[in-house]
Structure 1
Amino acid sequence: MSSHDDAVSGSDNGAVIAIDVSAGCKKDAFPVGYNPWRKAVICHVAARAVGGKANRAILDLIAGTFGVPKSSVSIISGATSSTKKIEILGISRDDVISRLSGLLEP
C-alpha cells in the first residue's frame, strides 16, 4: 500500500481523491506530492482563487491527468477551501491509485 492510497476512496460511479491545492503557482502540476497530515495529493495551479478560476483549472488538470472528459470530474466538497474532494466518474479507485503510483515518486 502506497502512502497516497488513503487519499483515494471509491464512490458509486467512480473514485474520489482528496487534494491539497496551492493556487497562484508558476505552473499547473498534478500530482506534485502527498501531504500526509491532510491525507491528500498535492495539486498546483497557476490560476488565482478568484471567481472560480482555480477550481476550473483543477478540474481541467485532473481530467487531463486521468484521460477522462471534463464533465466526468467535479468538486464534491471544499469548493472555497484549499483542501478539496474531487470525484472522477467512470474510473475505479484501483485505477486512480495505479495512475498516481506511476506519477508520484516513492
Structure 2
Amino acid sequence: MSWYRWDGEDLILACHLQPKASKDEFAGLHGERLKIRLTAPPVEGKANAHLLAFLAGVFGVPKSQVSLESGESNRQKRVRIRRPRQLPALPGLAPRPDA
C-alpha cells in the first residue's frame, strides 16, 4: 500500500504525525505513511486541527475540504482532501489518473 491513493477527485493520505516539532513540514516517509511534523501539541485536538489547516494550505483548498477519516487520538491518521487544487512535491505523489 502506498501512503496515498485517489478516490475519484479526492486524495486520501496515510500520515504519521509528529507533534511539538520545531516547524510544520513534511519529513519524508515513515514506513508506509507520509511523516508530517507539526508545531502544535497533541492535546485537546490542537494537533489535529493544525494538521487539517496545514494540509489545506499546502493543497490549496479551504479547511472545510480537509477531513480526518481516522486516527483522531493516534499518531497514525488517514486524511481526505477533497479536490486538491495543487500538489506539493512529495515522494511518489502522482496526479489523479484521470486528470
2:39 matches 1:43:
no
Q: Following superposition of structure 1 onto structure 2, how do residues 13-52 of structure 1 map, counting pairs within 5 Å?
A: 13-29=9-25, 31-36=26-31, 39-52=32-45
Cα distance, 1:67 vs structure 2? 0.5
Cα distance, 1:86 vs structure 2? 0.3
Q: Deviations over 1:45-99 (max 9, x none)?
A: 11111011000110011011110110000100001000100000113xxx88xx3
> With structure 1 as the length reference, what TM-score do the two structures score?
0.77
| Larger fraction in helix | 1
2:4 matches 1:8:
yes
* 1:58 partner amino acid: L
Of structures 1 and 2, the one scoring higher in RCO (CA 8 A, sep 6+) is 1
Cα distance, 1:23 vs structure 2? 0.5
Q: Give identity over the alignment, percent.
A: 29
Counterpart of 2:66?
73
Runs of 4+ in 1 over 3 A off after TM superposition: none
Structure 1 distance, partners of 2:90, 2:11, is: 17
Structure 2 distance, partners of 1:41, 1:50, is: 21
> With structure 2 as the length reference, what TM-score do the two structures score?
0.82
Q: Which runs of 5+ in 1 are unaligned?
A: none
Structure 2 distance, partners of 1:12, 1:77, is: 19
| 1:60 maps to which of 53, 56, 66 | 53
State the superposition RMSD in angstroms. Answer: 2.2
